[in-house]
Chain A
Amino acid sequence: MSEILLRAEDIYANYGDFQAVQGASFEIRKGEIISIIGTNGAGKSTLMKAIGGTLAPKSGKVFYKDTEITGMPTHKLVDLGMSQVPEGGRVFARMTVMDNLVMGSYTPRARKHKDNALERVYDLFPVLKEKANQVSGSLSGGQRQMVAIGRALMSEPELVCFDEISLGLAPTVIKDIYTKIRQINKEGMTIILVEQDVKRSLKTSDRSYVMLKGKVVLSGKSSELAEEDVKKAYFGL
């Protein structure tokens, strides 16, 4: 087995007084794809924020390659090789598509490969090349999602986390994306998928975690998880 890349231990995260994540743990090994699934409001996005540094966890620890990274500022995590696509196709609305993508290669490590990476993204989403000089605030919903995904890929991360990757994308594009994900995974990128589409995520990932009300209630090899169990865990039946 390959080394553990990221390990989250007993994470608690709050919004004010409200506990959105209540003791969730998971780990991911180098080269894996894992999926985190759960109903709306289960706390998936919050967990990702807590790991990615945009929301300080109340308690718990996060390790990246055996170094503790809990509470480390986000930009440092990015330097270490973690990247995230937040949910909802968030783009730098007043910047052009091209500048958005270029921002993806902000880390010194990624800057070197900027031109290559840009080509790859354009390859994946040809429409973005057409719109390279359009202000991204005026893109369609799906196009924004493409920018967000492309931007994360620009940083050539070791570990990337996609929150609701297929949101707003047309079926053709979704298919492409999933093919692409498997491909970049094979090229060595470790991937966390946060998805609503249970079937697709089970199919794509090596292992899965099911979250309910802020806790991980089920986990295991995706291929071994029975659909019945997942459903039960999912709805807390």
Chain B
Amino acid sequence: MKTGFLSDSKRLIKALIMVIVLVGLFVLPNVANQYTTMLVMLICMYIGLGQMWNLLAGYAGLVSLGQQLYIGIGGYALAVLSNYYNIPILIGLVVGGLVSVGLSVALSFLLLRMKGMYFAVATWITAEAFIVIFAGWTYMGSGNGLFIKAVRGMPTSTIYYYSLIVAILTIFIVVFLLRSKLGLGLIAIRDNDSAAETSGVTIFRTKLYCMMISSFLTSIIGGLFYMSQVWVQPYAAFAINWTIAGMFIVVIGGIGTVAGPILGAVIYVILNQYLSQFGGISMIILGVIAIVVILFAPKGIIGSLQNRFGFEILSARRDANKNFMGMQIQETSENTEQ
């Protein structure tokens, strides 16, 4: 058993590392070159996207193929509010998030009736339907989409900070959520819904909260993406590619882990940037990498490392002996009986 002192000092070191990393990230645009800043900015956005997909699929068992819906809403909210009403960008972000929450609540009554792959497919089809709706909606610029004129000149560093904050927020929220009662209920539902229900977990409400949180943040991330891209257009905004990117990030990194999407996003962004110059074969390479990683590490990179070395970074697991708050490297249970 570890002594209190030991775990305390471990915790201190951990906290110290975190602070250093955070400070480093916050001063990055001032010290690093512009490309590094841009890379980290993209990584932050994709971390957020991944975390939110992971929250749904990895923890709540809601394998969604429709996260692009909220990305699109986030982008459009920004465009509509800033173009038509001159509303500041940040407010636009939040309003987009709230609209998404509303939408997710409305859709929940439909989607949460479904389970497993029905849910997955239904979420996707819903997003596809939104392509059709937005493409036919003159106010939204129809198939042409809208230019978000207000962000045309926005410097990368500004978007960088927004993205960084949102990424940290998503990680924080996921960790916090999982260590909360809600997270416990989510995992219980994922493992066995009727047993969870008879254990007192209110399935609909628990899933609903999860969907609301994820739609809110995904939508904000969508806003960030479109801040950087300026042009929002229905076929791209509601494209399945967003969810696929999230899925790639999470599954490669390690589903059901908090660190997985972080690593996954780093790999995804760097790989994409690097491969883009290989023209015709870049996609083949990406596809092959995805397949190979999954075949040899089906739990993702972090998941497999955790299995091998028996620790978990940013664990959501509760230790029966210890208080669970505070971020510490915990050893997972070795089997007690021998």
Contacts and interface: CB of A to CB of B under 8 A. Distances in A.
A17 B335 CA distance: 9
A18 B338 CA distance: 7
Interface string B91-116: 00000000000000000000000000
Interface residues of B, number: 3
Contacts, number: 4
A137 to B, nearest CB: 13
Nearest to B338: A18
Contacts of B337: 41
Interface in B282-338: 335, 337-338
Contacts of B338: 18
Chain A residues touching B, majority SS: loop
A18 B335 CA distance: 8
Interface in A14-39: 17-18
Interface residues of A, number: 3
A41 B337 CA distance: 11
Interface in A85-120: none
Contacts of A41: 337
Nearest to B307: A16
A14 B291 CA distance: 29
Contacts of B335: 17-18
A84 B338 CA distance: 28
A179 B337 CA distance: 39
A88 to B, nearest CB: 15
B311 to A, nearest CB: 16
Nearest to B334: A17
Nearest to A18: B335
4 contacts: A17-B335, A18-B335, A18-B338, A41-B337
Interface of B: 335, 337-338
Interface of A: 17-18, 41
* 4 smallest beta-carbon distances between A and B, as pairs: A18-B335, A18-B338, A17-B335, A41-B337
